[in-house]
Structure 1
């Protein structure tokens, strides 16, 4: 028989070439980038009241300090994911982390509203570069299913932990130093991290079939027109729903971008059907990978729940109960602690069906949401209602978030890790943006007829709304989730319906000339 062909750099297993220590260090670096992304948003919750006074902001301007980041972060995830899959994810990751540090350093010196909003928007773009590229690298470093599940769970857990710790650290800076340090803290961590990653991340883990192609083929694979159409559509859509809660849903500033964005989304899907399926920004087959669509729907909820809880209770505790920023942050710690504990449950997906784990998490979240709807209007309600709700709800939605994340990566081939990571994280952000706009409208309309913002009825109505969303998703997962693909390896590129063995040195097998299954590791011993 002819001599076996050597493996291409894209097919060479990486995990055996890296020591366990180096792989753990890489995981730490990826998690640190995730931590900084979440921190750059959550730490500002404590600083917003001071920023409003210091810069003379209006309510809508202070809203855009937060929304500008969310708008660009969500909108640029897809193009970042495509760049990570087609080009070098190492370059994208390091560039995103370094850019986040530089922009945050500049933001710390700004004392005017408009420049700060612009820098926050640029921060969102830099952060969007880090997540898909980190996930593309992570699945290369941890290709074995159990290790990958644990790594993805830990990576995802850093986001919620950073949200809680960011609130605390931001409150400490605001109370004992200056709000400027909320921005300056990020480059202190980000710049050394980017420098270290330039040396620690080996170039071979960035090798994929696509990024080894010639430059012209890469450019074609990027589908720049399709990505641009969808990115602009998402920017307009998120701008519209974010503006709806402050400018009114019937205003031209909301209706015009909303209508244009819908037309552009239709145009995007028309364009995608005209080009080769493998060159599309989001190949149509993506939505037909097992359970991919239902997992995408579930991903709309976790961030919505967490951010709603943060927004409602930080404002209630500081503006109505008159608690200090640090006291409010301390009372929020159960969210981070519960999420941190549940982030280590990734290995459960190799024992139990992700369906039952996701349903369990949604059940915990639904119970917690009921507790928040029933109690919380008085300081004495914290221990009997809010503390158990924060703990149980955060644990439940972290369980849902972690195993939805793991399952969606197992549904798609590793060659699409950057794009899948962008789609998943985009769903988290879209759900949060759209849901927060709806929640704000519900709260405002109820408060207008029931005593104003000092009453709890508007906030309770928001939690009943969240319970409705969670219940719909619970029913949808119960009916639509297909368990026949549980614990099966990722599908090969281009085969959505038939998962195949993963390409690792430990379990990938090939057929010899007689049809006998042989280990790839034994190729060198085959007779010539």
Structure 2
């Protein structure tokens, strides 16, 4: 990403890091392992000079972090509102059963498939120029969703909101990475951004439940959209300016030359097709028998080796490669990507199946269910803040392994739970343990991934990390849905919709989640053993 221009006024509130020269693809600061792979994501062939990056004054930095967290919170708030209010919304605007999941699925499908492209563009033209339009589009789409009168309109608005969110998330990481001083402030910044997402979702579920049962679900969208517009105004003042781009022809040439468009298109197409098929299977496993879904699944999988071959081709030509194959030899980078895929799948599935357990097995209301899941959110908030403060004082191996082992206890408790017993005996502790793995990993993993990428491609680094998280959620929901439905159908209970039959399927899903957390622990044990501390302030 280009260096930001510093005016006289900005110099009064910013400190500037000294320019330094690094080899192409060498992450600034301490390498994560003994052999940090070279990258070809920049057009230079020998070395690049990373120009001075202005560090914001502490007060300004906290305003920036708060604004970035706020827009992510608002977007996630709308997701929680959709999740809790979907049955009522379906009745109000006549959403047919075959489209019932799409107001939620459309958001995640478009977001996951657009992250890499948005991150790549932001690294060329500047994160502010991508973040603010993304935030504005997010706010407008949330507000407009409250006025939707039919299913197709709502789904389209949610899909566009997903694209807008893909513009916001990686650029938020880039802004914090390049403009907030290394150390505790930056670590808390990363932690807070990721905290705002599950926190916003949970608040959306709780407040949305109140809106649905009182003034109406539309008010939730009006509230979220209005708040988002206020945050856009704050962003226009607070976010640090990007460097001047120069003539339009020069900018267009840079976009054409410095971005691996073919690689981004291949990766995005693969993710979009896979996410679509997984969403269809999550709704009904019988969809796998449809020729169109089989074809799309095959194409999405074939695009993966095609992407690897294109990366190799680009590297040999000395052209920009989106994610060079050599980067996967960086064991810590590969490990945290795989771990976030598994851990994000587990925490999202835990939230879903815990909700189903409380509502379908224990027959509790939506509000009662939201209250029982609330400890997961509160603990997650505390963990994220603690991770931001302590990540530079504790070895990565210790923090990741301890938190992941504790998180594995959550699905284990739910897998062996007795539904007739008190909430406080097992279910409560399962909710407390659920966020341990992912909330710590998001903070630590972001630092690991950001150090694996050159400083000029921090938006792409954030996009890669979040893409793995999004894909993990899609895969997790699909696989657990298949497992749960299959076990329920094969149960000896005559009524397959009874709490007893459903519980057998849910138990199987919880056992699968437990296995995934154990797999994440094993990956961390071997993949992160060479990593010391991250997020340390360097002179």
Please give the range of the TM-score, normalised by the shorter of the 2 chains: 0.7 to 0.9
Q: Which residue number in structure 2 is paired with residue 367 of structure 1?
A: 409
Cα shift readout 1:85-141 (whole Å, capped 9, x = no counterpart): 111210111011100111122221112112211221111101111001111111112
Partners of 1:414 and 1:115 in 2: how far apart?
Answer: 40
Q: Which residue number in structure 1 is paired with residue 70 of structure 2?
A: 32
Partners of 1:91 and 1:180 in 2: how far apart?
Answer: 30
Partners of 1:316 and 1:397 in 2: how far apart?
Answer: 22
Q: Which residue number in structure 1 is paired with residue 504 of structure 2?
A: 457
1:386, CA displacement in angstroms? 0.8
Structure-to-structure mapping, 1:336-351, within 5 angstroms:
336-344=377-385, 345-351=387-393
C-alpha distance 59-447 of structure 1, shift in aligned 2 (>3 A): farther
Q: Which residue number in structure 1 is paired with residue 394 of structure 2?
A: 352
Q: State the secondary structure of the residue aligned to 1:462.
A: helix
Number of residue equivalences: 482
Structure-to-structure mapping, 1:109-258, within 5 angstroms:
109-204=147-242, 214-245=251-282, 246=284, 247-258=286-297
C-alpha distance 207-432 of structure 1, shift in aligned 2 (>3 A): farther
Is 1:101 aligned with 2:139?
A: yes
Asked if the contact 2:410/2:433 (under 8 Å) is kept, the reply is yes
* Superposed CA RMSD: 2.5
Q: Which residue number in structure 1 is paired with residue 27 of structure 2?
A: none
| Alignment counterpart, residue 259 of structure 1, candidates 273, 289, 298 | 298
Higher mean alpha-carbon deviation, 70-79 vs 151-160, is at 151-160
Partners of 2:464 and 2:445 in 1: how far apart?
Answer: 12
Asked if the contact 2:346/2:517 (under 8 Å) is kept, the reply is no
Partners of 1:386 and 1:207 in 2: how far apart?
Answer: 54
Partners of 2:331 and 2:356 in 1: how far apart?
Answer: 41
Q: Which residue number in structure 1 is paired with residue 13 of structure 2?
A: none
Asked if the contact 2:67/2:235 (under 8 Å) is kept, the reply is yes
Higher mean alpha-carbon deviation, 313-322 vs 250-259, is at 313-322
Q: Which residue number in structure 1 is paired with residue 46 of structure 2?
A: none
Cα shift readout 1:335-376 (whole Å, capped 9, x = no counterpart): 110000001122322222111111111101111211111116
Is 1:477 aligned with 2:524?
A: yes
Partners of 1:226 and 1:433 in 2: how far apart?
Answer: 22
1:422, CA displacement in angstroms? 0.6
Gaps of 5+ in 2: 1-17, 21-48
Structure-to-structure mapping, 1:409-488, within 5 angstroms:
409-450=450-491, 451=493, 452-453=496-497, 454-455=499-500, 456-483=503-530, 485-487=531-533
Using the size of structure 2 for normalisation, the TM-score is 0.84
Partners of 1:369 and 1:406 in 2: how far apart?
Answer: 27
C-alpha distance 283-480 of structure 1, shift in aligned 2 (>3 A): same
1:153, CA displacement in angstroms? 1.5
Partners of 1:286 and 1:207 in 2: how far apart?
Answer: 31
Is 1:311 aligned with 2:352?
A: yes
1:212, CA displacement in angstroms? 13
1:82, CA displacement in angstroms? 0.4
Cα shift readout 1:467-520 (whole Å, capped 9, x = no counterpart): 11111121122122242x423789xxxxxxxxxxx9xxx72xxxxxxxxxxxxx
Asked if the contact 1:358/1:404 (under 8 Å) is kept, the reply is no
Q: State the secondary structure of the residue aligned to 1:96.
A: helix
Partners of 1:320 and 1:480 in 2: how far apart?
Answer: 39
C-alpha distance 20-447 of structure 1, shift in aligned 2 (>3 A): same
Asked if the contact 1:354/1:407 (under 8 Å) is kept, the reply is no
Is 1:387 aligned with 2:434?
A: no
Is 1:69 aligned with 2:111?
A: no
C-alpha distance 59-304 of structure 1, shift in aligned 2 (>3 A): farther
C-alpha distance 303-38 of structure 1, shift in aligned 2 (>3 A): farther
Asked if the contact 1:55/1:113 (under 8 Å) is kept, the reply is yes
C-alpha distance 393-311 of structure 1, shift in aligned 2 (>3 A): closer
Q: Which residue number in structure 2 is paired with residue 84 of structure 1?
A: 122
Gaps of 5+ in 1: 1-5, 491-501, 508-528
Is 1:287 aligned with 2:328?
A: yes
C-alpha distance 161-489 of structure 1, shift in aligned 2 (>3 A): closer
Asked if the contact 1:244/1:254 (under 8 Å) is kept, the reply is no
1:60, CA displacement in angstroms? 3.5
Higher mean alpha-carbon deviation, 20-29 vs 238-247, is at 238-247
Partners of 1:188 and 1:217 in 2: how far apart?
Answer: 36
Asked if the contact 1:304/1:436 (under 8 Å) is kept, the reply is yes
If asked which structure has higher relative contact order (CA below 8 Å, sep 6+), I would say: 2
Q: State the secondary structure of the residue aligned to 1:256.
A: helix
Cα shift readout 1:366-390 (whole Å, capped 9, x = no counterpart): 1121111111634x44211111110
Partners of 2:369 and 2:434 in 1: how far apart?
Answer: 18
Partners of 1:475 and 1:133 in 2: how far apart?
Answer: 31
C-alpha distance 19-104 of structure 1, shift in aligned 2 (>3 A): same
